[in-house]
Structure 1
Amino acid sequence: MKRLSNLLIKTTLLMSFILAGAAATASADEWSVDRNKSTLGFEVENNGKSVTGTFGTWNAKIVFDKEELDKAKIQATVITGSVTTDDSQVGGAITSQQWLDISGYPEAIFRVDNVVPAGGDLYEAGGILELKGIKIAVFLPFTLTIEGDTAHAVGEANILRNEFKIGDGVPDSTVSDKVVVTLDLYASR
């Protein structure tokens, strides 16, 4: 249980996941993300207030067959400068060098190399999130439903911003270390 908690904590911003095993099917087809319906976002506590944000530019390459999970390959790429938030103060700072450093690290990448069934429509994806040049293992549980050629995945992962040097030096009492990354992904084959 402690190991599972640690894996959940090490999950991130993004992504990512992000992205995660979003589209599954009975054949190892490649799935295309429907950008008009899909969202990748996050939530964090800032001075006791919940702040949410989204990334406007991201995509995922998904090869997924629920009958052959050992062959699943997912890579999500997020353009960090496409971030927007519901708080203008946070929105003005989040792209700076202290936070996401979009000049030095314009992309965040989540690579999934392990997907396992967790019962019913629930799956668990494990991979590596690269953010601000730092690579950390991330665990992303998600639900997946497939109807015909359309897949819908919803997932949520927790990451620790301090592990990625995001907001380096800002105390947890001001901005929580825990960031919840949210994924609502639609894809088609």
Structure 2
Amino acid sequence: MLSLRYLSLLLGGILLVSCGQSAETLVQSSPPAAEQETNWMVNPDGSFIRFTAQQQGKEFEGEFTEFNASILFDPDNLADSEVTVTIPLQGIDAGDKERNDTLPSKAWFSAKEFPVATFRSDQIAEVGQGSYVANGSLSIKGMTHDIELPFTLSPATPAIGETTVMTGMTSLDRTQWKIGEDPWNTGEWVSKGIKLNIQITATRK
């Protein structure tokens, strides 16, 4: 009997604007991720990694316009399930030209020196029917920290050829990766806390 394999993220996703460490392509225009067995075909139009923060007390939303992911997720074999997500940091749309020009700079993402952020799962655990937590690490600017990404699948048990939607949300402290160095590291101008909102739509192969 065939075991079911599922999709998880980076972010979320990750993440993401601020997620620990470092995959078929999620966004087809992105460079290819490292070769890894995968069992899902992702729909880029139904997939995104978005973030929410505050600038001088006003909330704004942004999005990573490109990302790649290799995903192998089997609820019957979580020990061997894994996900790797890479995010080119020049591809950021923060909803404002000044923010878009500033975020890749050395004080923020330092995208020339460190062009990608990488999330790699270390462990995926089931916490309920169709609900999971991916524990992993996100690397940004040469620094790696652990993160935790809760996510759900809907439907929870798609058959081959069917589509499922993975959704995940988590909050991060950007200063752990020195995203926004002095004088922007106090939270006075830009919030330290970043909320990540991740959605991946994919069809099981």
1:105-116 superposed matches below 5 A: 105-116=114-125
Equivalent residue, structure 1, for 2:165: 152
Equivalent residue, structure 2, for 1:164: 177
Scaled by the length of structure 1, the TM-score of the pair is: 0.83
1:120-135 superposed matches below 5 A: 120-135=129-144
Unaligned runs of 5+ in 2: 1-9, 17-36
Q: Kindly tell me the number of residue pairs found equivalent between the two proteins.
A: 170
What secondary structure does 1:151 align onto? strand
What secondary structure does 1:118 align onto? strand
Pick the aligned partner of 1:138 from 144, 147, 165.
147
For residues 107 and 40 of structure 1, do their structure 2 counterparts lie closer, same or farther at Cα, with a shift above 3 Å needed? same
Equivalent residue, structure 1, for 2:32: none
Amino acid at match of 1:174: W
Alpha-carbon distance in structure 2 between the residues aligned to 1:19 and 1:70:
22
Alpha-carbon distance in structure 1 between the residues aligned to 2:137 and 2:83:
11
Alpha-carbon distance in structure 1 between the residues aligned to 2:53 and 2:165:
25
The superposition leaves residues 102-127 of structure 1 with CA deviations (integer Å, 9 ceiling, x where unpaired) of 10111110001211111122110000
Deviation at 1:29, TM superposition (A): 5.6
Alpha-carbon distance in structure 2 between the residues aligned to 1:113 and 1:151:
23
Equivalent residue, structure 2, for 1:25: none
Alpha-carbon distance in structure 1 between the residues aligned to 2:38 and 2:110:
35
Equivalent residue, structure 2, for 1:10: none
Equivalent residue, structure 1, for 2:40: 31
What secondary structure does 1:15 align onto? coil
Q: Which runs of 4+ in 1 moved over 4 A?
A: none
Equivalent residue, structure 2, for 1:92: 101
Alpha-carbon distance in structure 2 between the residues aligned to 1:19 and 1:54:
10
Q: Does 1:173 align with 2:188?
A: yes
Alpha-carbon distance in structure 2 between the residues aligned to 1:33 and 1:19:
17
Alpha-carbon distance in structure 2 between the residues aligned to 1:108 and 1:127:
13
Larger deviation: 85-94 or 100-109? 85-94
The superposition leaves residues 5-53 of structure 1 with CA deviations (integer Å, 9 ceiling, x where unpaired) of xxxxxxxxx5331379xxxxxxx96223221210011111111011111
CA RMSD, aligned part only? 2.0
Q: Does 1:49 align with 2:58?
A: yes
Which structure has greater strand proportion? 1
Equivalent residue, structure 2, for 1:15: 11
Which structure has greater helix proportion? 1
Deviation at 1:55, TM superposition (A): 0.9
Unaligned runs of 5+ in 1: 1-13, 21-27
Pick the aligned partner of 2:198 from 180, 183, 186.
183
| Conserved 8 A contact 1:157-1:182 | yes
Q: Does 1:80 align with 2:93?
A: no
Alpha-carbon distance in structure 2 between the residues aligned to 1:97 and 1:16:
23
| Conserved 8 A contact 1:18-1:182 | no
